[in-house]
């Protein structure tokens, strides 16, 4: 059994890759965009702070991951994985269920290509339309890379 935690900026290819891995392995994909979009659709018309919506949807994601791992399923978590706590939680769940843990960083260092992908995909309500600024793009890339370094240190000391 394995648990794969995808990571990367929106539009970097996480969902495409996670679906291909799932198709070949039979893994369950927990897609953060689907969970968050479902939440936002269910409260349509009711104002909600973006951070609160994100926290609620991540709690749902983690509950689904925990359940599927407890049932012996391979699991792929498709989310940007921008926070160190997410890596810690992923590693802890993998240990809890004795699943092999992998952190997969999708990296695309071309803001123009990322914006092209974002603008030309079928967008869910939770997904961004385009990169807000070069600074935001660089900031997110650094967070993802920092998590990748931490994961390498924890999983391969």
Residue 156: band (very low, low, confident or very high) from pLDDT cuts 50, 70, 90: very low
**pLDDT value of position 157:** 42
Residue 12: band (very low, low, confident or very high) from pLDDT cuts 50, 70, 90: confident
Task: Name the residue range of residue 10's domain.
Answer: 2-155
**pLDDT value of position 61:** 97
What backbone torsions phi and psi does residue 101 show, to the nearest 5 degrees? Answer: -100, 135
Average pLDDT of span 5-15: 84
DSSP letters for 26-90: -PEEEEHHHHHHHHHHHTTTS---HHHHHHHHHHHHHHHHHHHHHTT--EEEES---SHHHHHHH
Residue 28: band (very low, low, confident or very high) from pLDDT cuts 50, 70, 90: very high
Q: What CATH number should be reported for the domain holding residue 10?
A: 3.40.50.300
Most confident stretch, 9-18, 74-83, 147-156: 74-83
Distance CA 137, CA 117 (A): 14
Task: Tell me how many domains the chain contains.
Answer: 1
pLDDT tens by residue, 55-108 = 899 999 999 999 999 999 999 999 988 778 889 999 999 999 999 999 998 886
Most confident stretch, 2-11, 39-48, 145-154: 2-11
Q: How many helices (H) and strands (E) does the chain have?
A: 6, 4
Distance CA 5, CA 125 (A): 23
Distance CA 3, CA 68 (A): 10
Is 30 within 8 Å of 125 (Cβ atoms)?
A: no
Average pLDDT of span 119-131: 62
Give yes or no for residue 143 having a pLDDT over 80: no
Which of 53-58's residues contact partners 24+ apart within 8 Å by CB, and which partners? 53/126, 57/32, 57/126, 58/32, 58/86
- pTM of the entire predicted model: 0.78
Q: Which residue has the higher pLDDT, 74 or 135?
A: 74
**pLDDT value of position 117:** 61
Count of positions (residues) in the chain: 157
């Amino acid at each position: 059994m394995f648990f794969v935690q995808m990571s990367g900026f929106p539009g970097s290819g996480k969902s495409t890759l996670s679906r291909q891995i799932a198709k070949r392995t039979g893994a369950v994909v927990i897609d953060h965009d689907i969970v968050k979009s479902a939440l936002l659709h269910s409260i349509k018309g009711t104002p909600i702070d973006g951070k609160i919506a994100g926290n609620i949807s991540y709690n749902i994601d983690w509950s689904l991951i925990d359940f599927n791992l407890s049932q012996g399923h391979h699991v792929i978590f498709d989310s940007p994985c921008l926070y160190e706590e997410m890596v810690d939680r992923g590693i802890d769940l993998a240990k809890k269920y004795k699943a092999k843990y992998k952190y997969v960083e999708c990296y695309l260092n071309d803001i123009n290509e990322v914006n092209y992908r974002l603008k030309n995909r079928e967008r869910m309500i939770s997904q961004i339309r385009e990169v807000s600024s070069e600074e935001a793009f660089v900031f997110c890339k650094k967070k993802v890379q920092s998590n990748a370094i931490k994961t390498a240190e924890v999983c391969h000391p």
